[in-house]
Amino acid sequence: MIIVIINTALAFHTESAVAMISGLSDRQSKTGKKTWFIHTSGTSSIADRPISKIYCESREFHDTDDIYTYELNRESYEAYKQRTTDLAVFQIGRALAVKTTIVKPPTIFGLGTGPINKLSIQIPGLIRRALQYGQAVVIGDGHGQWDHVHIEDLVRLFELVLIKVLNGGEDVPYGLKGLLFAETGRHTWLDISKAIGAAGVELGALKTDEVRSVPLAEAAAWVASGSEQVRELGFASNSRSKATLSRALGWEPKHETDWQTAVKVDFEAILNAEA
């Protein structure tokens, strides 16, 4: 028997991740049972900062790369809480002999089927800003590129990893190599904003499909405790990833074609919730 924790809570909360790994280590030493920690992060940890010019990069990352060393070097250059948590998972798991695997998805789209929250963060966040501005908005020129994955395809990856772990985890990467990407396609931030404008007009929620560019400082102020770093990395950066190991494990995404209607689906869900 193996004891597994899947952490799908806040990827920015280092302390809770460390606590869960420590708990697994304690259980392992007391019971003799093997343990495994599956942590949910995100690809903003490897994103650059093209608007502020603090860190610019054109690299495409594969989960066969040494992402641990890359994140370690990036963190020494500029700390970022989600990356800090990634590194803690890598390091504490290794120190306490708990196997850890980080799943690092990009933009998540599609409606979830759970009982509470059914929406992700990035696309719904930009839709809500469009409703406030009266038109779609983009930070800077919107040329930054990200990947995306449908929520059901992401769930399928977690299921695959969990099943393999429960069967011994022989093929699942862990430790300092324990990272999996989950991408099925690529977009720019301007692509999303244009789609928001088009969907908003079609649904009668916006009067124009024109996209307004806003500066980073203004976008950071969208929330009271706004951070230019968090806003740029999560909504205006470049973050290109390839799920090479995930596919080698047998992951077969099924919902890439749903990307074409992803923005409209989220827009309708938000309008229905606020009606």
Q: How far apart are CA 110 and CA 13, in angstroms?
A: 25
pLDDT in tens, 91-139: 999 999 999 999 999 999 999 998 888 999 999 999 999 999 999 999 9
Q: How far apart are CA 107 and CA 89, in angstroms?
A: 22
Q: Dihedral (C-alpha) 257, 181, 117, 13: value to the nearest 10 degrees?
A: -160
Q: Please, what is the average pLDDT of the chain? A: 96
Strand order in the sheet with 185-188: 107-109, 145-150, 185-188
Domain ranges across the chain: 2-274
pLDDT in tens, 9-44: 889 999 999 999 999 999 999 999 999 999 999 999
Q: 52-61, 114-123, 213-222: which has the minimum mean pLDDT? A: 114-123
**CATH number belonging to domain 2-274:** 3.40.50.720
The pTM of this model reads 0.96
